[in-house]
Amino acid sequence: MVLAEALLEAEALPVVSNMDDYQKLLSEYLDPIYRFVFGMVLDKDNADDIVQEVFIKVWNKRSSLRKDQSPKAYIYQIARNATVDFFRKKRVEVFSSFDQDETVFEDTLESEELQPDEEFEKAETVEEVRKLLEQLPPKYREVVVLHVHQEQTFQEISDLTGVPMNTVKSVYRRALKMMHQKL
């Protein structure tokens, strides 16, 4: 009985109890959270602000994150809520423009470099996909970003959004259909 009580108490301890724990959480989740938020707002400055707000909230609410909870789901939920709040406060249009100067190419090994014509075609394709993505309503864009860019399963997206998994799958299929129709 004493062992069971000790285990329960251990699970009740916060995951982030000091700055070292926070740094570990930050190093593990900063990039994926940034990519998720950026995929939703499609603006670097706004994404920077929202992600900063997310991790400030994680620090301020560190005592509420318990060992029996998934830090990933907890942080993504804060990021999702902060993004929804951003859209509410700013009343950003769904069809916002994307700054073309921010196209990012992944670093590649010299032997794998694309030829100039291939690179141009790739840039055109990436830009087309970004334009299609920014035309999607936020709920559709969120599912596509989480599934494709963040590589989350439909079940993980369902857990994060609180939407049934079959609905998430339907939203994803509809989003792909909308994007395909605009091609």
Amino acid at site 177: K
pLDDT band at 123 (very low <50, low <70, confident <90, very high): low
Model confidence pLDDT, tens digit, residues 79-105:
999 998 898 887 644 443 444 444 443
Arithmetic mean of pLDDT, 98-123: 45
Chain CA centroid to CA 73, Å: 11
Q: Where are the alpha helices (DSSP H) in 61-148?
A: 71-90, 116-135, 138-144
Angle at 162 between CA 170 and CA 50, to 5 degrees: 100
Are the CB atoms for 155 and 164 separated by under 8 Å? no
Q: How many CA atoms lie within 13 A of 107 on its CB side?
A: 0
**How does pLDDT run across 9-22, given as a tens digit for each residue?**
433 335 566 788 88
Q: Could you read off the pLDDT of 67-82 as tens digits, one per residue?
A: 777 888 889 999 999 9
Domains of the chain: 14-92 (1.10.1740.10), 116-183 (1.10.10.10)
